[in-house]
Amino acid sequence: MQNLQRWIVRKEPRWKQLEALLGRVEKQGLKSLKAEEIRTLASLYRSVSADLARARTNQVGQTLIQTLQGLTSRSYSQIYQGSQRQEWRSVLEFYRWGFPAVVRQTIGYVALATAMFIVSGLIAWWFSWQDPAFLSLAVPEELIVKVRDRGELWMGSIVGSEPLASSGITINNLAVSFRVVAGGFSLGIFTAIALIFNGIMLGAIGALVGQNNLAYPFWAFVCPHGSLELPAIFLAGAAGFLLAKALLLPGRYRRVDALKIYGTQAAQLVYGIVPMLIIAGTIEGFFSPSPVIPAPLKYLTGAGLFGLLVMYCCRQKPTHS
């Protein structure tokens, strides 16, 4: 009994210290503690957990056991659940302010990727109007037959299988974007090829539907989801070019350090485009091909989404004096 009393007297200051730290955390949050105090909190939690096990083994009294049980439960809640809440807050903070900031920081790379896509698309569009042979090289033959000979577009096949189509579209778009990003490790060659190839494809298809008086419904289909999908591809291109820069032009950094710096920016761009592609895939599967939604509304939706995206990327975190 005397040994237990001495044990209680020796341990009680640590229990009180843990109680005091928990009181601060519960009132002001985990971020109110300094790094050293957080480590102390974790250490005290482990110590009190061991004390609780000993108290139960030696049956020191129900009151003390309940006290120690309360301390361990409160500690667990603050250390583990509190850190999870902090992680979620960090994720929300990134999408609220971090992603727009990294887009602005890398705007030159975004502009380069966008220019490659648009210029190649315009060139393909012009050549497709001038030379049918070029069109047959850029666009699959079955697509040409459907549009030119039957006067039909192909997206009607989505109607009736929207959930399956939406998930398939999203997976495909994610795969395309990740390939564009990974192309950065080829010194940016495959990133550039992917952007140019997709630009040529869209430009040639644009010429095909224009030649057959189907441009208005075609672009009405593209506009709603394209307002997010295409910028996401351009951002993926920027991420690929950042990786290429780290390998080709590390500047004053060692290549390994440049990869860490530019690779972090590239990863942040990837984190940002994933939700964009999921939303775009949902729109493309359910909204864009719907025959009951009028074309003007589709154009307005696309313009509105693009406008919101630009406004979002221009957001700057307010500075507090």
Same domain, 72 and 157: no
Cβ atoms within 10 Å of 218's Cβ, excluding its own = 19
Check residues 25 and 301 and name the one with the higher pLDDT.
301
Same domain, 183 and 303: yes
Q: Is residue 98 part of a domain?
A: no
What mean pLDDT comes out for the span 61-78? 79
Same domain, 73 and 129: no
| pLDDT, position 126 | 95
The encoded tokens of residue 47 equal: 């110590």
What mean pLDDT comes out for the span 128-141? 88
pLDDT at residue 257 greater than cutoff 80? yes
**pTM tops 0.95, yes or no:** no
Same domain, 210 and 309: yes
Same domain, 212 and 113: yes
Numbers of helices and strands, H then E, in the chain: 13, 0
- DSSP letters along 211-258, please? HTT-HHHHHHHHHHHHHHHHHHHHHHHHHHHHHHHHHH--TTS-HHHH
Asked if 14 and 70 touch (Cβ cutoff 8 Å), the reply is no
Same domain, 148 and 296: yes
Same domain, 251 and 160: yes
Backbone angles phi, psi at 241, to 5 degrees: -70, -30
Same domain, 199 and 297: yes
What percentage of residues in the chain have a pLDDT greater than 70?
Answer: 90
Q: Is residue 97 part of a domain?
A: no
> What is the span of the domain harbouring residue 284?
106-313
* Model pLDDT for residues 260-317, shown as the tens digit of each residue: 989 999 999 999 999 999 999 999 888 988 889 999 999 999 999 999 999 999 988 7
What mean pLDDT comes out for the span 230-251? 95
Q: Which residues of 228-249 are buried (b: 16+ CB within 10 A; e: fewer)?
A: bbbbbbbbbbbbbbbbbbbbee
- At 134, the amino acid letter reads F
Q: Is residue 320 part of a domain?
A: no
Q: Is residue 110 part of a domain?
A: yes
Domain boundary among 89, 117, 135: 89
Number of domains in the chain: 2
- At 77, the amino acid letter reads S
Least confident of 99-103, 185-189, 253-257: 253-257
Asked if 203 and 125 touch (Cβ cutoff 8 Å), the reply is yes
Same domain, 113 and 223: yes
Asked if 203 and 137 touch (Cβ cutoff 8 Å), the reply is no
The encoded tokens of residue 46 equal: 């482990």
Domain boundary among 57, 89, 121: 89
Radius of gyration in angstroms for the set of CA atoms belonging to the chain, rounded to a whole number: 29
Same domain, 66 and 139: no
| pLDDT, position 91 | 80
Instruction: Look over the chain and give the mean of its residue pLDDT values, rounded to a whole number.
Output: 86
Length of the chain: 321
Domain boundary among 56, 89, 122: 89
Largest CA distance in the chain: 101
317 torsion bin: left (phi>0), alpha (psi -120 to 50), beta (else)? beta
* Model pLDDT for residues 184-213, shown as the tens digit of each residue: 999 999 999 999 999 999 999 999 999 999
The encoded tokens of residue 199 equal: 């630009």
Confidence of residue 77 (pLDDT cuts 50, 70, 90): confident
Confidence of residue 233 (pLDDT cuts 50, 70, 90): very high
